[in-house]
Amino acid sequence: MSASTAHDAGFNPRLIGGVIVIGIIAFIALWALIALGPQLSTGKDGGGHALSKAAPGYAAIVDLLERAGADVELRRQVEPPQYDDYTQLAILTPTVRTRPEEMTELLEAQGKAPVLIILPKWYTPPTPGKAPKPGWAGPGIPGMPPSRLLPPAIFGEVDLQTHEGSQPGSVRADLAGRTVDVAVPANGITVTGDAIETLIAHPAGGAILARVKERDLYILADPDLINNLAFASRDKARAAVSLIDAIAEDAAADGLAFDLTLNGFGGGRSLLRFAFVPPFIGITLCLIAAGLLALWQAWIRFGPSLKPQRAIPVSKAALIANSADLIKQARRELDGADAFVHSQRSAIARRLHAPAGLDSAATDAWIDKHLPPGSDLFSALARRLPLARNTHEFLADAQALHAIRKDLLRDS
């Protein structure tokens, strides 16, 4: 087998590294999209909310209000921001699938801030046999909004009615000290109740726009007054903006906030979402960077590879070290005192050519004669070392003997 064939059969490190990097990026992006998907959605689903450009949506009035200089916010969280000297009119656009507990939670979260509830009217099922177009609504079927969207604990007992067969018309009403012309749509929906008061009445009876008596909670029973369908003509568009402006002025609001949480575009509470939003996004980025650095360190070797070494090195120093370790593990350090003294005595006597035939005591006395005055005597250390009671005393006397040998023999 040639060298080129063997190389082609192996893995390409760059290719494998690229696959790993792409996999890591895709994994992080997947979790980020799962956490932030509702907030990143464009809202092109044909529904009745502030992002929708279909007939039941409210994107047209949002755009027109922004062009007119109004302060408009698309709110994606249940808890509104709190300001001391700034009030927003929260505009809720529930659907027929909105649960009462969702409405109650959202209304309680607003506190004392004014709220406008726009009830749903149109059912837009998909056309049978046709694929839905992105952002388009299906055929519109007018229907009665469910009364559960107005919780009795807040609105009391309310009655919703549909005036089927009613023709489009115009109603003039006084609201917030101004005269408002309202274009009443066909098949209008009205609301009545003991706990609410009528602000704009329908010609056939009931209220198109009502308000709770004890709180700034407004109910717009028919959404065709301000949705995209109302922007079929210039006059209806002007009337829609005037109506919203009058409601905001009546509520003493400084800005408008269209809620998107009831339509599925809010950022819910979750640990996964918190990891990708301030202030925890910094910790997430640090963890990602640490993981990438650890992967890079594992992938790239710094310096030459370490050669495996012998478990027991081959040298005199290694032999001495191993012997010392064995003596230490056996706790027999003090047993070598006599041997150490004998080795030091023999080395000094041999190197200094001591007279032959001397015993140990005579040799120690002969060595003492070669020591400078005032220094420790070799004979005293030789007698004291075997009597050491612990390793500290043994080490001190052994070092003193070694120092005498080094001074006399001029070596280490």
All structural domains of the chain, each given as residue ranges with its CATH number in brackets, are 35-125+134-269 (3.40.50), 316-409 (no CATH)
Give CA separation, 38 vs 1, 104, 269, 332, in Å: 57, 22, 12, 75
C-beta of residue 88 within 8 angstroms of C-beta of residue 253: yes
Q: Kindly state the DSSP code that residue 100 receives in the 8-state scheme.
A: H
Torsion angle (degrees, nearest 10) of CA 145, 146, 151, 156: 80
Name beta bridge partners: 212. Answer: 196
Tokens of 133: 């177009």
Name beta bridge partners: 91. Answer: 116, 258
Query: Sign of torsion, CA 325 329 331 335?
Result: negative
Beta-strand pair 88-92/115-118 = parallel
**Cis omega (within 30 of 0) on the bond before 373?**
no
What pLDDT score does 275 carry?
Answer: 67
| C-alpha span between 127 and 108 (Å, rounded) | 38
Low-confidence ranges of the chain (pLDDT < 50): 1-7, 9
What pLDDT score does 40 carry?
Answer: 56
Contacting residues for 88 by C-beta, under 8 A, at least 6 apart: 71, 73, 80, 113, 253, 254, 255, 256, 257
Torsion angle (degrees, nearest 10) of CA 33, 37, 40, 43: 150
| C-alpha span between 39 and 274 (Å, rounded) | 13
Give CA separation, 177 vs 113, 160, 207, 250, in Å: 21, 27, 19, 8
| C-alpha span between 197 and 208 (Å, rounded) | 11
Give CA separation, 392 vs 118, 226, 323, 399, in Å: 91, 96, 20, 11
Name beta bridge partners: 48. Answer: none
| C-alpha span between 184 and 208 (Å, rounded) | 9
| C-alpha span between 246 and 242 (Å, rounded) | 6
What pLDDT score does 89 carry?
Answer: 92
| pTM assigned to the model | 0.58
What pLDDT score does 35 carry?
Answer: 60
Contacting residues for 150 by C-beta, under 8 A, at least 6 apart: 103, 117, 158, 191, 219
- Would you give the distance in Å from CA 197 to the centre of its chain? 46
Which ranges in 41-97 belong to alpha helices (H)? 59-67
Residue 227, φ and ψ in degrees, nearest 5: -75, -175
What pLDDT score does 118 carry?
Answer: 93
Contacting residues for 102 by C-beta, under 8 A, at least 6 apart: 94, 262
| C-alpha span between 126 and 136 (Å, rounded) | 10
